[in-house]
Amino acid sequence: MTIQIPRGTYDVLPEDAFKWQKIEETAREVCALFNYKEIRTPIFESTDLFQRGVGDTTDIVQKEMYTFKDRGDRDLTLRPEGTASVVRAYVGHKLFGLPSQPQKLYYIGPMFRYERPQAGRNRQFTQFGAEALGSADPSIDAEVIALAMTFYRKIGLKKLKLVLNSLGDPESRAAHREALIAHFKPSIGEFCADCQKRLEKNPLRILDCKADHNHPLMATAPSIIDYLNDASRDYFAKVKVILDEMGIEYELDPTLVRGLDYYNHTTFEIMGASQGAITTLMGGGRYNGLVSELGGPETPGIGFALSIERLLLALEVEAVSLDTDRSLDCFVVAIGEKAEQKAPVLLNQLRLAGLHADKDYMERKVKGQFKQADRDKAKFVVVIGDEELDAQKAVVKNMADGVQEEVAFTLLTNYIKEKI
Ligand code: HAM
């Protein structure tokens, strides 16, 4: 019996892997432009990191984590997101003590959530995320958003919509929380069991409930925007002014609460062209309390994450192709036993000289070797047989125009390098 791939996962075969490479390359390039440095953290962490970091009342922690005990009876979880790990590392390595602040970090790697799989919703998915820790300057909020936008534009997406909100500071949030409790409490019996628990623990989560999103009280719920205190409103205004001046368009959405608990002040999402039910390509926001929550000093932070899976779907919808040159420089065709012995040596020389080169390993006849050269999109075919070996020469065929020339072995690499 063949073994099936786990539900919600997939393989990236070579014919698609080049797209992933291109996307990852672009992410790294854009991060370098913005001076964000890579951080790599483990794929699994202590479960309490996410319970405390992402929040006990979130769907992620309550329903979606891959949690297990290891042989030493430790509670571990495959990371469902990257921010908590980055903050754990920032605290653990005392990066807050470095003179270079903010610490501007990025990551690309797999995340795991036990969700109902569909296009753009996987159980293992790959996030590209960036986090700026240590600055409460509104221009860094705008920078993080600009980074994501620049990345999508460089990849070739055009149909993007930035949605923006502010959840305010702790004082604003406390006032909003009381208003939400007063709004929902009289009718909380009409809501799902999760929402009933959320009412006292974290009423903001009710607004994010998938089961009750059509309840009439949802549309009339008090909006955070009306509860922002002066400092929070002022901060948000500054972020918007910078975005305006950068020419980054956005839509305000006071219902954008995000699915993780650590957010305050600026929150944002980028939506893409419709791909069925899922349109959110990227999400992020400010999390000023998270560093201290995880044992570090009071430190502001902001970041975003996006998945490569959803980006690929959006590229498909917008018919953007990521084609890159995947051709071989040359393919060595050997005729006869002596040539077959010489071929690997010649090939090795070509490769050491920096040429992308290959040969046949399937005992193909000459015609079959040429066919393989075609499949590999070889620009040149280097043919060697008895005569060529005696003369220490090869016949080099330019596959674009069919022109053939005899080239001495000693001149071969230079010849091909000059032509390509
Ligand atoms: P999030 O909104 O949970 O935020 O996820 C961010 C992005 O990850 C989503 O917009 C989506 O592109 C992608 N994503 C999430 N779940 C899946 C899935 N099951 N399959 C495919 N793609 C998925 C966070 O994770 C925060 N850590 C973002 C952040 C960084 N906030 C501040 N810094």
pLDDT for 257 equals: 86
14-169+229-317 matches 330-419 in fold: no
In whole angstroms, how far apart are CA 211 and each of 56, 59, 100, 193, 195?
Answer: 19, 12, 45, 10, 9
Residue 259 has pLDDT above 90, yes or no: no
Q: In 3-state terms, what secondary structure has residue 223?
A: coil
Q: Which residues pair with 275 in a beta bridge?
A: 278
pLDDT value at residue 151: 98
pLDDT confidence of residue 277: 75
How far is Cα 240 from Cα 306, in angstroms, rounded to an integer? 22
113 assigned binding-site residue: yes
Give the nearest ligand 1 atom to 60 CA. Answer: 3
> 115: Cβ below 6 Å to ligand 1?
yes
pLDDT at residue number 218: 93
The per-residue pLDDT for range 77-115, each reduced to its tens digit, is 999 999 999 999 999 999 999 999 999 999 999 999 999
- The reported pLDDT for the residue numbered 78 is 98
Residue ranges of domains in the chain: 14-169+229-317, 330-419
Q: What is the pLDDT of residue 210?
A: 83
Which residues face 394 on adjacent strands?
407
Residue 331, CA atoms < 13 Å, CB-side half-sphere? 24
What band does 232 get if pLDDT is binned at 50, 70 and 90? very high
User: Which atom, in ligand 1's list, is nearest to the CA of 123?
Assistant: 19
What are the start-end ranges of the H helices in 156-229?
Answer: 170-184, 193-201, 216-219
The CA distance from 209 to 191, in Å, is: 10
Q: Which atom of ligand 1 is nearest to the CA of 127?
A: 8
What is the per-residue pLDDT for 187? Answer: 93
- What tokens does 192 get? 């799902």
Q: Who's near 72: CB < 8 A, 6+ residues apart?
A: none
Give 87-92 contacts, CB < 8 A, sequence gap 24+.
87/53, 87/131, 87/133, 87/287, 87/290, 87/291, 87/294, 87/296, 87/301, 88/41, 88/45, 88/49, 88/53, 88/294, 89/39, 89/41, 90/133, 90/291, 90/296, 90/299, 91/291, 91/294, 91/295, 91/296
The topology (CATH level 3) of 330-419 is Rossmann fold (3.40.50)
User: CA 162 to CA 215: how far, in whole Å?
Assistant: 26
The mean pLDDT of the chain is: 95
Residue 381 has pLDDT above 80, yes or no: yes
Q: Give the rounded percent of residues in the chain with a pLDDT score beyond 90.
A: 91
Q: What does the alpha-carbon distance between residue 151 and residue 27 come to, in Å, rounded to a whole number?
A: 6
How far apart, in whole angstroms, are the C-alpha atoms of residue 7 and residue 13? 17
Q: What CATH number has the domain spanning 14-169+229-317?
A: 3.30.930.10
Judge whether residue 333 has pLDDT over 90: yes
**Could you give the percent of the chain with pLDDT greater than 70?**
100
Mean pLDDT of 273-290: 89
pLDDT tens for 180-219 read: 999 999 999 999 998 999 899 889 889 888 889 899 999 9
Residue 323 has pLDDT above 90, yes or no: no
For ligand 1, atom 10: residue with the closest CA: 282
pLDDT at 346: 95
Does 127 appear as a known binding residue?
yes
pLDDT at 296 over 80: yes
Which pLDDT score is estimated for 289? Answer: 94
CA pair distance 241, 228, nearest whole angstrom: 17
Average pLDDT over residues 128-145: 98
Whether the CB-CB separation of 58 and 261 falls below 8 Å is answered with yes
Pocket test for ligand 1, best of 78, 103, 125, 256 (most atoms within 8 A of CB): 125
* Confidence check: pLDDT of 274 > 90: no
Q: Does the pLDDT of residue 147 top 90, yes or no?
A: yes
For the segment 325-332, the average pLDDT, to the nearest whole number, is 92
SS (H, E, C) 124-168: EEEEEEEEEECCCCHHHHHHHHHHHHHHHHHHCCCCCEEEEEECC
- Express each pLDDT in 6-51 by its tens digit: 999 999 999 899 999 999 999 999 999 999 999 999 999 999 999 9
pLDDT class of 235 with cuts at 50, 70, 90 = very high
If one counts every other C-beta atom within 10 angstroms of the C-beta of residue 205, the result is 22
